[in-house]
Chains A and B, each alone.
Chain A
């Protein structure tokens, strides 16, 4: 996106509605889960140790995070080199941290 596309405010409200919609969808899924209306495979079947519903929540969260960082924080308007400088440490270190710590947690659980 270049500055030319930023003439009005419509792009701000577009992202607002996306964030609001995704959050509302998440809350709806959460409430349906509490009330037991979700199909069993979403809640009880797991993939990589997490329920499918959790994977859905993670994907939705990353979508929201992407809109906040790229549009609200204008990272999408910065130079490519700056974008990578900011994103690469997070993309490498955070999954690495989660991988070792959660793997360790499962072993710790087995030793209880």
Chain B
């Protein structure tokens, strides 16, 4: 496809680098080989997630119950924010492929335009992820951690009832800790509240009070690597690890794109006679989008 890019001498003998069986340049091949290894890395992460999810099937949080918020909107909007993040990343993939396309045509100004928009998309995605992490870490409605480290939720009918509401404060009033005894007292006064066990079965109010009295260790607010108000702690660990590793890929991609943009503006590729570097970084950027497509499905949808 890009014969002019292939530096090798086609007439040289096979063992002197003369054969170019793949008709692709060295740099592009190496980028592809890197992406193969990265594919296997991410597959291993998602397979590990699958292992834990199948192993603790009964206790695994339902993702649609975890990621339900949208900036500046009240109420429950499951999947909406992550759909927006997906849209941003797909859009930035489109601007990237446009930059590559204009690179082939040696149209420097259009390459600059579309590369800049790709960088904007990458930064928007990273900001969205920061918001989502912040929200996940702060937590939503709180839960109770038991002495055996399991997590149970307070329920009103079939909805999780906010611990903050029970304690009479707002969830963003800065409370990071609630006294367990006071919590249990308030819980026992609210006849309509029940406990949902980690395997999603319900207790009635009287046995809930007794259950909390015997088993509760502390009121759990938010999520981190050691505890997770949404359910099994491994869910939080995988969330931070997989989306974090992907986010780091996006961050690296943005850095590469900025270098690429500077070089384009400086005319480096114009002088070199081809924009193959845009194509190579483009491969990496599309791969990041590709990984997100799988993370979106296996972390948020199923």
Contacts and interface: CB of A to CB of B under 8 A. Distances in A.
A10 to B, nearest CB: 11
Contact of B51 (A9, A69, A105): A105
Contacts of A98: 43, 47, 50
Nearest to B51: A105
Interface of A: 3, 6, 9, 12-13, 15-16, 19-20, 23-24, 26-27, 29-31, 33-34, 49-51, 53-54, 57-58, 60-61, 64-65, 68-69, 72-74, 77-79, 81-82, 85-86, 89-90, 93-94, 97-98, 101-102, 104-106, 108-109, 112
Q: From DSSP, what is the main secondary structure of chain B's interface residues? A: helix
A9 B101 contact: yes
B166 interface: no
23 contacts: A3-B1, A6-B104, A9-B101, A23-B86, A23-B296, A27-B79, A30-B300, A31-B79, A53-B302, A54-B302, A57-B297, A61-B293, A64-B293, A65-B294, A68-B290, A72-B97, A73-B290, A79-B23, A82-B29, A97-B43, A102-B54, A104-B51, A106-B54
Contacts, number: 140
Nearest to A109: B55
Contacts of B48: 101
Contacts of B289: 68, 72
Q: From DSSP, what is the main secondary structure of chain A's interface residues? A: helix
A16 B98 CA distance: 11
A54 B301 CA distance: 8
A31 B293 contact: no
Contacts of B1: 3, 74, 77-78
Nearest to A107: B55
Interface in B269-291: 279, 282-283, 286-287, 289-290
